[in-house]
Structure 1
Amino acid sequence: MKRRFMGIMLAATLAASLVACSSKDSSTTTATSTVNSEITAEEYADTIVANANIYKNYVTINSEDYLNREIDVDTSSYTVSDDDVNSQLETLLEQLTETENVYEGETKEGDVINLDYSGTLDGVAFSGGTATSYTYTVGSGSFIDDLDQGLIGLTVGQTYDIPCTFPSDYSSTDLAGKSVIFTVTVNYIEKDVVPELTDDWVATNASTLGYDGCTTVEELTAAVRANLETTAASNLVSAKYSAVYALITENLEVNDYPADELQQLLDTLNDNIQSEFDTYGSYYGITDLETYITTVYGFESTDAFNEYADEYAKSYLLEKMIVTIIAADNDITVTADEINTTGEELASYYGYDNYDAILSEYGNEMNAEIGYQCLYTNVTNFLADNSVLTTTTAE
């Protein structure tokens, strides 16, 4: 469950500003603080060097720590093959699978069937033992065992008498341990039919699947390949960055962490998990936060939770310090257009009309939040571009 906790911890960064219960805070910060303040998108670039100078009081890194570092990354894991493309096309087809009623054949375990059945005890129908046009999955165990297994191998359209015995501990004492007859007719078997990949199918369904403009199989195949290659390239950059970052931090000494920013992260985390408990605690039948933390997230105690939160917050903040210092020392910046574009994407994802609506609700400190996310991306690309691969394919 700790992976789920990490997702909550990430709410202490960009997403948290949108899902936290509190609205914008009009307070400002001092010039010596790296805590996000109310700034415009245009002003964010000016904070990079200022924050880096503060962070350099806590950690020291030099260009030789991250430039032209040799890394071992299996690039074959980030290539796109024809099989990958075909697999993705199959996935798209399966997303629009249709159900067809088949009025012939024999039933087998796992089939979804439509049936009529009537149960009799000593020739007399009993309560709850009759249904028409009932949908059932053969072998699911929802019926008593004798009936469940008796539905295997039946021919569609034919009527069968299936002798069954109710379990001795059956909930109805009138039927417990009794032998009965179920008269059963399978009306049809429901079959999932995956559509065929044709130009007509593409022209009709591509936009529904997020591939606007594709009208032929050839166009869809090319678009799928392009998407997979974009994702693979992005994942390779992330893998390179992770490898370089591991080398940077391998023997890195951290003097301390900016106390106000660290506390802000922890406060946001605690606010979010409190909000989650307030929303979902009753669903789990839990009435106090401590029990929620130990039960839902699997921590032994709240002390263990707090220790994990502190370690995770420090890990996040260390990376932010390193990224910001590298950016400042290599003239890596973020433009207002980058922030606004990312803000619009975020607004669309969270259901806001536009980025201005987010700023109106949560304040201009969101420009700093999103600015750092853009900076992180730019530094990730920089480190990946300036790394040296020692292994390029799997052996």
Structure 2
Amino acid sequence: MRKRFMGVMLAAVLATSLVACSKGTKKAEEVSSKNTAITAEEYAGTIKTNADIYKKYVNIDSASYMNREIELDTSAYTVTDDAVETQIQTLLEQLKETQQVTEGETKENDVINLDYSGKLDGVAFQGGTATSVSYTVGSGQFITDLDQGLIGLKVGQTYDIPCTFPSDYSSSDLAGKSVIFTVKVNYIEKEIIPELTDSFVAENASTLGYEGCTTVDELRTAVKASLETQAQNSLVQAKASAVYKLATDGLEVNDYPEDELNQLLDTLNKNIETEYNTYGSYYGITDLETYIKTVYGFESQDAFNDYATDYAKTYLLEKMVYTIIAADNDITVTADEINDQGAQLANQYGYDDYNAILTEYGNEMNAEIGYNCLYANVAKFLSENCTIA
């Protein structure tokens, strides 16, 4: 559950924790790193402004992150032929179809559709009759005798299966009793994975996410290139993370920008409240603290608040350090980078285009995506300026 919570927290941070620039009419003491609405073109001008704010709280010099030697196993970032075939198999499974097989015999792990009727001393008992039920043979969801009795049955034939309920069965009327289940398997559900052929690739390349491929070889080449790009990006992040860890080991943090920290905490609390309002009734929970305890395993609301504070500070420290490194090394972000990433997000979340996102959430999104781009650019810089031991 805690891992899931991390995802929720991160989504909240990315959704509404935005970098900002000060308006020209603001006084110097009012400059803040909190979010504000800006254009994509204006984002680059916020980097130095925010870095100057962050330098009041943390001091990091270039020797702590430049030309550092790191320890990293790079073997995990090499794309093998097996990895390509595994990815292709995953793609094929996304297009698998389920067929209803009306002949043959059942075996363990088959998903079957069946009718059954249970009788005790020749009389049907409550809850013992059902039709068109989907069941996985051997799953143990039925009592053991019935579960195992479903193995080796011919589809379409009717069988009487003698069964004995466990002595500790929940119904005292059936506990330890011998009954007869009359069953008929209507069909076996079989998952059919498409065969990888040139014609299949040509017809489904777009659906698979590899538009333009017309042969199996072309698909393999495209998949490998995609995996290599992902691996390279992951390697950059791993190297940057290793450098960041070295750079911040023992780093003294005077404090955090109070307004931005409070904004983060407000975002995280609103996020969990929204989730509770949406899903609380599903769990049968009627108050937020119980939701936090039950779903995420926190001992109390205070424990959640402590965790949220630690998480927000960890995120904000990274943001301060990355922004300072960017400002000190002339690392910037272009409007095209922001708009390109915005377009990718629009496609990912089903918007017509990036403008549709800006219309719904405001131009603060330019600042949010701007920092995401800045983070990526600084990570690349750090990865290029380190060596692996």
Structure 1 counterpart of 2:237, one-letter code: S
Q: Which moved more, 1:369-378 or 1:115-124?
A: 115-124
CA distance in structure 1 between the partners assigned to 2:98 and 2:381 by the alignment? 50
What secondary structure does 2:195 align onto?
coil
1:49 aligns with 2:48: yes
Q: Alpha-carbon deviation of 1:324? A: 0.8
Alignment partner, residue 298 of structure 1: 297
Within a 5 Å distance, the mapping from 1:317-336 to structure 2 comes to: 317-336=316-335
Shift of 1:137: 2.6
Tell me if 1:202 matches 2:201: yes
Q: TM-score, normalised by structure 1?
A: 0.86
Is there any run of 5+ residues in structure 2 with no aligned partner, and where? none
The alpha carbon displacement at 1:115 in A equals 4.3
Partner of 2:288: 289
Matched ranges for 1:297-316 at <5 A: 297-316=296-315
Aligned to 1:370: 369
Residue of structure 2 equivalent to 1:4 = 4
Which has the larger displacement, 264-273 or 74-83?
Answer: 264-273
- Please identify, of 36-45 and 82-91, the stretch whose mean Cα deviation from structure 2 is larger: 36-45
> Per the alignment, do residues 57 and 282 of structure 1 end up closer, same or farther by CA in structure 2, a change over 3 Å counting?
same
User: For residues 8 and 113 of structure 1, what CA distance do their matches in structure 2 show?
Assistant: 37
Query: 1:374 Cα shift?
Result: 0.8
Q: Quick one: higher RCO (CA 8 Å, sep 6+), 1 or 2?
A: 1
Q: Please show how residues 1-395 of structure 1 align to structure 2 within 5 Å.
A: 1-16=1-16, 31=28, 32-115=31-114, 117=116, 135-156=134-155, 158-166=157-165, 171=171, 173=173, 179-390=178-389
User: Is the contact between residue 17 and residue 264 of structure 2 (CA under 8 Å) also seen in structure 1?
Assistant: no
For structure 1, the residue ranges without an aligned partner over 5 or more in a row are: 19-25, 391-395
Change (3 A) 1:86 1:35: same
Alignment: residue pair count: 381
Cα deviation for residue 140 of structure 1 reads 3.3
Residue by residue over 1:101-148, the C-alpha shift from the partner in whole angstroms, topping out at 9 and shown as x without a partner, is: 445543222222344555556667777766666543322344444333
TM-score (norm 2): 0.88
Answer with 300-309 or 221-230: which moved more: 300-309
Could you tell which deviates more after superposition, 100-109 or 342-351?
A: 100-109
Cα distance in structure 2, aligned partners of 1:307 and 1:117: 53
Give the aligned residue type for 1:2.
R
C-alpha separation between the residues in 2 aligned to 1:345 and 1:248? 32
Shift in alpha-carbon separation, 1:100–1:369, aligned structure 2, 3 A? closer
Given that 2:117 and 2:183 are in contact with CA atoms closer than 8 Å, whether structure 1 keeps it comes out as yes
Equivalent residues of 1:112, 1:135 under 8 A apart: yes
CA 1:140–1:29 in structure 2 vs 1: closer, same or farther (change >3 Å)?
farther
Shift in Å at residue 63 of structure 1? Answer: 1.2
- The 1-side partners of 2:293 and 2:308 are apart by 14
In 2, distance between residues paired with 1:332 and 1:145? 65
Code of the residue aligned with 1:35 in structure 2: it is: K
**Secondary structure, aligned partner of 1:189:** strand
State the SS of the aligned residue for 2:251.
Answer: coil
Q: Percent identity?
A: 73
> Structure 1 residues 42 and 99, CA, compared in 2 at 3 Å: closer, same or farther?
closer
Structure-2 change in CA distance of 1:109 and 1:389 (3 Å)? same
**Residues 119 and 141 from structure 1, CA distance in 2 versus in 1: closer, same or farther, beyond 3 angstroms?**
same
8 Å Cα contact 1:346/1:355 also seen in 2: yes
Other structure's SS at 2:293 match: helix
Q: State how far apart, in whole Å, the 2-side matches of 1:95 and 1:265 are.
A: 38
Are the counterparts in 1 of residues 17 and 35 from structure 2 also a CA contact under 8 Å?
no
SS where residue 161 of structure 2 aligns? Answer: strand
- Deviations, residues 129-173 of structure 1 (Å, cap 9, x unaligned): 666665433223444443332222234455433333456757595
| DSSP 3-state at the match of 2:259 | helix
| More off after superposition, 300-309 vs 67-76 | 300-309
Contact kept? 2:160, 2:181, Cα under 8 Å: yes
Q: Contact 2:34–2:260 at 8 Å: present in 1 too?
A: yes
Displacement of 1:42 after TM fit? Answer: 1.2
- Distance change (3 Å), C-alpha of 1:183 and 1:50: closer
Check whether the contact 2:64–2:246 (CA below 8 A) recurs between aligned residues: yes
